[in-house]
Each structure stands twice: as C-alpha cells, then as structure tokens.
Amino acid sequence: MTPVELAKYLDHTLLAPEATSRDIAKLCQEANEMNVAAICCSPSFLPLAHGLLSSQIAVACVIGFPSGAHASEVKSFESATAVKNGATEIDMVVNLGLVYSAMWLELGDEILAVRKSVGTLTKLKVIIESAALTDEQIIMACRVAVANGADFVKTSTGFHKSGGATIHAVELMRSTVGASVGVKASGGIRSRETAIAMINAGASRIGTSASAAILAG
C-alpha cells in the first residue's frame, strides 16, 4: 500500500485536553498536506477546523468524550451542535454502564437519539471501548449500534485505562457488522506496521495522532 493509499484510511486526530486553537490549525494544515480521510477533534474547535480544511477531508468530532457517561439528551444536543458548526462525522462514546448491565434497549435508544439528531447525511461512528469489554459484549454492542443507525463501530477513545485497539477486537467487530458497516481502529496505533495490520484485520478507518510517522513508514 502506497502512502497516498494509506492516507485515505487515516483520521488525523488531536484530542488532548490542553490542545489550543493554534494546535488545531496545525492539525488541519498537516491533514491537507497528507490528504487524509478526516481530522478528528473536540467540539469546542468547531467551526475553526471546518474552515481550515480542504473540502475533500471530513471533519469528525467526538461526542460524550471520553467517558460516555453523559445523559443521552446531552449527547444528542452536542452532536446536533457539532454538525451545525461543521462536523461531517460524529464519533460518539457509548455509555459503558449500559453495556456492562446488558441494558441493550437503553443503549440502542441512546445511539438512535444521536442518529436522529444529526440526520442521515452525517456519518455516525459508535465508540465501544473494546479493550474494556468481553467478546460477547463487543458483539452485542456492535449489533445494537448497527441496528440503531451506526455507519461505523469504533474500538476505542484512546483514553481508557484498559487500552486501545487490538487485532482481535477489529477482527471480531468486522465479522459482527459485515461488509456494509465501517470499522474504525483507534487507540495506540503509531506505526505503519500496526496500521496495515489493523486494515488487514478489517479496519476501514484508523484513528491516530501519529499520521505523519505512519505514512513515513
């Protein structure tokens, strides 16, 4: 895979709490130079990020980040506001308490509420924190996400103590959602070798803050 081809898998990401507007401007400049698939930032940096990017690059915004323990109504409002401010993709964190309690109907309601709040033209990625879940929980969380309008399922925020993406999780998520739904691997992906391994396992997007290093090999 050439660097140009690999770049189209990357969501160039900056989610550090101490990030500044200058940092986001640099992120957008780098994204334009590398011609990645998307950037991923916090909602407070919209519409700044939207205005600095090539029209070919998507603007992904995290929602309910990083804990996922926000009220469903808050996630819906945050998502709608992000779209209003220029986000074209929403990366929402699920409420892990609902997953651990096997409250699948409630989890579905939360995801569906966000889906409705952003409309059909916005890509919705659902972050399940796969490293914190059993295989059975991963499968159920993915099924619920897809049933309630997710365009992607995503492994991790990169902020959970349990860790980030693994090959096993990506393979399991891909086998669960099938070919028509995206799988985003995120958390701890910092080398070309790891990125390629995730793609070979079934990832259709890679979330990373190390895009330049990955493309440089």
- Active-site amino acid positions: 91, 154, 184
Name the burial class of residue 50, with classes exposed (0-12), middle (13-18) and buried (19+) by CB atoms within 10 angstroms of its CB. buried
- The pairing of strands 123-127 and 205-208 is unpaired
Separation of alpha carbons 92 and 151, rounded Å: 12
* Cα radius of gyration (the chain): 16
As beta bridge partners, residue 183 has 153
- Which structure tokens are listed for 148? 């309630």
CA 100 to chain centre: 21
Separation of alpha carbons 124 and 205, rounded Å: 13
